[in-house]
Amino acid sequence: MSNARWFIEEYKFDGFRFDGVTSMLYTHHGVAHAFVNGYNEYFSKELVDEDAILYLKLVNDMLHQLRPVENQVITIAEDVSGMATLCRPVSEGGVGFDYRLAMGIPDKWMELFKTSVKDEDWSISNLAWSLCDRRYKEKNIAYAECHDQSLVGDKTIAFWLMDKEMYENMSVFSPMTPVISRGLALHKMIRLLTCALGGEGYLNFMGNEFGHPEWIDFPREGNNWSYHYARRRWDLAKDSNLRYKYLAAFDKAMNKLENQFKWLISLQVVNCTWVIIKLLKAHIYAKHDGDKVISFERNNLFFAFNFHPSQSFVDYRFGVPKPGKYKIVLDTDNKEFGGHERITTYEGYFSSAVECHGCKQSIMTYLPCRTALVFHLEDLTENKQEVK
């Protein structure tokens, strides 16, 4: 606690990530526990280390009192167990963290890659469940790629998707191969889906925003104490002759759109159909495992994803929450993002009184394969400047 206070007072730190919180919370340190047997795993005197919880409550309470203005200090817990009330205020009986790292999300993406699940076999329902697996009003930081991929010897998402072709075919002067085309498309969609559905904050790990091909490898005996890979190749994204620029441009556009509409600070997405929608600012409407399509609304933006590897839908009908004119404000297939520009008009789509996905109105749109579209109900837009 003294160290934490020192960093605030001496260096004006405004954020703390508590590493390995799961190993602190439990007497078994989280080893060989899947945390699937109910709340007794979180509130058992035999399993929970009450002294550790007391310390975490004290340090969180102290940090927030030292910088009492809202959002002046943020504390984030690295916890994979899903400890209940970990991210609720101490005054409510919680442990006091502001956010939990959504560690299961990058694990889910890695599971798909490492087990070599074919694109046509991806379960959209399971993906949606993994991205929304958090408690109401316990905020999560979502991220698609973690330090295990970018720092300590695993493969980055870009490398899992494009492998050795990244060294040969990322030049704009080389042909767009099927591997590179798939990799660029899925890299954008994975980041957008994670950011839009996975939490109340979003995190990039050094280079993920432009598809960095390799991890950082610190000097060690295994590489003859070399510093060669102990850096990030930021120049890759700045080189106009390389396709990394497309992934970087998309990241910029995605964050610009979020900054404009602020979906991350809206109430979180709920992965069920029985919740009263009026109480929420977000809801999943379609999860179609056959079509590989998922659609949802968050803070007046409507998201539509088609993960199908080959099937494009000419007139796909989506249920939408409100009637009106829906205009595309982000298209992952845009040429500026290295896409194929299969959608050539952004004039807008008027809803019709046809029920779909539990909604009284719907729109029909062309949705190309491996493409995500973001729509906004035009008459609700305060700032109608299109985000490119």
Q: What amino acid positions are annotated as catalytic residues?
A: 19, 78
Between CA 83 and CA 87 the distance in angstroms is: 9
Nearest CA to 356 out of 304, 316, 312, 298 is that of 316
Q: In what order do the strands lie in the sheet with 140-142?
A: 15-18, 74-77, 99-101, 140-142, 201-202
Angle at 157 between CA 200 and CA 182, to 5 degrees: 110
| C-beta of residue 94 within 8 angstroms of C-beta of residue 87 | yes
Beta strand segments in the chain, E: 15-18, 74-77, 99-101, 140-142, 201-202, 282-288, 293-298, 301-306, 313-320, 325-331, 349-350, 361-367, 371-377
Q: How many CB atoms lie within 10 A of CB 356?
A: 18
Distance CA 339, CA 337 (A): 6
Could you count the other beta carbons within 10 Å of the beta carbon of residue 8?
17
d(CA 58, CA 32): 28
Q: Which residue has the tokens 């698609």?
A: 144
User: Exposed (0-12), middle (13-18) or buried (19+): which is 385, by Cβ within 10 Å?
Assistant: exposed
The CA distance from 75 to 86, in Å, is 11
Contact 119, 307 (CB under 8 A): yes
Question: Cβ–Cβ contacts within 10 Å for residue 347, how many?
Answer: 8
Within 240-304, residue ranges assigned H as helices are: 244-261
Please provide residue 316's backbone torsions phi and psi, each rounded to the nearest 5 degrees: -85, 130
Query: How many other C-beta atoms lie within 10 A of the C-beta of residue 171?
Result: 11
In sequence order, the β-bridge partners of residue 238 are none
